[in-house]
Amino acid sequence: MKNFRDALESDTIHVFDGAMGTMLYAKGVYINRCYDETNLTSPDLVREVHSEYCRAGADILETNTFGATSPKLAQYGLEGSLREINIAAAQLAREGGGDSCYVAGSIGPLGLRIEPYGPTSFEEAKDLFKEQVAALLEGGVDLFSLETFNDVSEMRQAIQAVRELCDLPIVAQMTIQTDGNTSFGTTPELLTTQLDEWGADVIGLNCGVGPAIILSALEKMRAVTKKKLAAQPNAGLPRDVQGRQFYMCSPEYMSKFAKRFIQSGAKFIGGCCGTTPAHIKLISDAVRAASPRSQRSVINSGPLIQVKEIVPSEFKVVPPEERSAWSRKIVNGEFVTSVEVLPPKGVDAQKTLDSIRLLKDAGVDGVNIPDGARAQSRMSALATAVLVERQIGIESVLHYCCRDRNLLGMMSDLLGASALGLRNLLLITGDPPKMGPYPDATAVFDIDAIGLTNMVNKLNHGLDLGNNPIGQPTAFCIGVGVNPGAINLEEEIRRFEYKVEAGAQYAITQPVFDTEQLRDFIKSIEHVKIPIVAGIWPLVSYRNAEFLHNEVPGVRVTPSIMERMRAASAISKEAGRDEGLKIARESLLEVRNIIRGVQVSAPFGNVKYALEVFDVLPEFASQKEAATS
């Protein structure tokens, strides 16, 4: 391995590794453990993570020592093991990367409040950093990575600690918030000029936020320094699901930003929390395209392993346009049509299948099959979808919710669905069990719809949730739900953005009765740019309208429509039904120019009634005339 100074002097772009904690957690290390201690208690596990990152294409491996300073180790009673933990960490990173990777000694903040904000003096902070620096030097690191600092004053003490003990290169990385500044209010321009003045060899940003915010800050930093820049974002902002953190940015999304980082002048690119070897593999591919390097191989404890073996060449990701006819139309921007039909209540699906056969004959693109809607107990949506596709020959759009299964169950279901030939999914969190007829039933909710989208996207790239290869990737067209009428619209948009980052290809709305509201919503998410399929519900009576408005989460029937249904239903049942159909047709025509598809619900399983809504679409009207002439 060459001296890291040579890398600094070249124009080659280098790749850092990704998250260590994320990987250790995925491999079974509980979050209440001291992850730095695993260098002593589980060295094989730590070495394995380093090897995975090296095989994925990383040039620089960071030691598992982010929290291995005396104050942080003291929280676990391990301050007496500081030297051994840091030495072992450096040696494990060297063994995991062999001669293919540089080893960076990772040093994080002390977790203390230093002057002027706390009782710890600058000199005391510097001495605490020097303890760790000395141990990492003894372990044989090639450079130092000072990362995730909020306070530039604390970063200065860390830089001085390194400089007083050695002349190894320093990569100094601050962390910023969503406003682009540190939590102390320091701007990217100011922190850059200060780190430059204090002697950092590479200045960068890591952790805290996802790639988009770091890119914006990086562009400001480039203007005030000639030092090389580094970017190691999180895989997006974390989502808290019942106390567990999930990061939603897909490897593809991160690799796109890797290219943008390069265009903005970054020479060192990697990942932080939530990133995995899968992310680093695609980041490395993006970097290699911009800065070609020779193919490397690494020596592990086993035989020679080529980088390309991370994703076996015989398995290819299926392009979205080839996943299904539904997916092809979505990708090509064509208008898709579907009808939502509930699974049967019992084991006899014949009546349901007969009604769905009408959809195929009418030329509808797909049938949407809800998964335990309103917490009702019906035949498995997955089983119904298989019956539909095999016996009717129309594509299904399988709704799949997080409520009823843990992570292992969902993984099994999805792999099975793929093996059975299902391709189109609508991923939803699911209605709470207590709103259904079985209030004592429990929910699982290991993850929500955002995490589930991320999981399916991983499967589409040949990886399970633990980033283990599954062989042939799945080929799902990923849809998600969205509610234009959400009470907290800002939160709904934020969640929608997360879903798109996680890999969503299209979205289906809750039933739309307020068309102006839908127009405003679509305008507010124009920056996201995935196709929106509008949900349309043809009302059958005033009572039906009252039920939807008051008892179905996320559905709002406007006062004017409620009054129209009340007046019509007072005349007769037929008049109420006709008015509901008229309203549905009006709604569809009013939004036709801003949507890329429609999902019409079949009230009480009445598919014929749902099909009448399509008559206002020219393509269906002409087809119907041809069939009757």
pLDDT at 227: 94
CA distance 526 to 122: 49
User: Two tokens at 341?
Assistant: 């039909």
CA distance 31 to 19: 14
Asked if the peptide bond before residue 319 counts as cis, ω within 30 degrees of 0, the response is: no
DSSP state of 401: E
Report the range out of 30-44, 165-179, 253-267, 445-459 with the highest average pLDDT: 165-179
Beta carbons of 400 and 481 less than 8 angstroms apart: no
- What are residue 276's phi and psi, to 5 degrees? -135, 175
CA 246 to chain centre: 8
Tens digits of residue pLDDT in 543-583? 889 888 876 767 889 999 999 999 999 999 999 999 999 99
Which residues share a beta bridge with 149?
174
Q: How many CA atoms are closer than 13 Å to the CA of 374, on its beta-carbon side?
A: 11
Comparing 374 with 280, the larger pLDDT belongs to 280
pLDDT at 127: 97
Nearest Cα to Cα of residue 554 among 410, 423, 449: 449
CA distance 627 to 53: 60
Q: Compute the mean pLDDT over every residue in the chain, rounded to the nearest whole number.
A: 87
CA distance 280 to 277: 5
pLDDT at 515: 93
> Mean pLDDT across the stretch 23-29?
85
pLDDT at 376: 65
CA distance 364 to 359: 5
CA distance 166 to 161: 9
- Collapsing DSSP to helix, strand or coil, 495 comes out as helix
Beta carbons of 272 and 19 less than 8 angstroms apart: yes
pLDDT at 292: 44
Supply angle C-alpha 330, 502, 231, rounded to 5: 125
Tens digits of residue pLDDT in 584-623? 999 999 999 999 999 999 988 899 999 999 999 987 766 6
Q: Which residue has the tokens 């306070």?
A: 151
pLDDT at 208: 83
- Rounded alpha-carbon distances, angstroms, from residue 312 to 305, 308, 463: 12, 7, 11
pLDDT at 290: 65
> Mean pLDDT across the stretch 368-390?
86
**Residue 81: which pLDDT band, with cuts at 50, 70 and 90?**
very high
- Collapsing DSSP to helix, strand or coil, 243 comes out as coil
pLDDT at 2 over 70: no
- Greatest Cα pair distance in the chain: 92
Domains in the chain: ranges and CATH: 4-310 (3.20.20.330), 320-538+596-621 (3.20.20.220)
pLDDT at 466: 61
Q: Which residue has the tokens 């009480």?
A: 604
Beta carbons of 304 and 293 less than 8 angstroms apart: no
pLDDT at 68 over 60: yes
Tens digits of residue pLDDT in 228-287? 999 999 887 655 544 455 555 778 878 888 888 998 889 999 999 889 999 999 999 888
Comparing 289 with 228, the larger pLDDT belongs to 228
pLDDT at 248: 59
User: Two tokens at 496?
Assistant: 């929608």
pLDDT at 446 over 80: no
- Rounded alpha-carbon distances, angstroms, from residue 376 to 191, 431, 437: 56, 9, 7
CA 60 to chain centre: 25
Single-letter code of the amino acid located at 465: L
pLDDT at 629 over 60: no
> Mean pLDDT across the stretch 11-35?
87
Least confident of 26-35, 55-64, 288-297: 288-297
CA 341 to chain centre: 29
Tens digits of residue pLDDT in 191-207? 999 999 999 999 999 98
Least confident of 339-348, 421-430, 456-465, 548-557: 548-557
| Strand bridging mode 477-482 / 506-511 | parallel
Which residues share a beta bridge with 162?
none
CA distance 61 to 382: 43
> Mean pLDDT across the stretch 322-335?
96
CA distance 413 to 404: 11
> DSSP string spanning 56-97?
HT-SEEE-S-TT-SHHHHHTTT-GGGHHHHHHHHHHHHHHHH
Beta carbons of 207 and 148 less than 8 angstroms apart: yes
Tens digits of residue pLDDT in 303-324? 222 223 334 446 789 999 999 9
> DSSP string spanning 352-394?
HHHHHHHHHHHT-SEEEE-SSGGG---S-HHHHHHHHHHHT--
Beta carbons of 107 and 65 less than 8 angstroms apart: yes
CA distance 117 to 123: 14
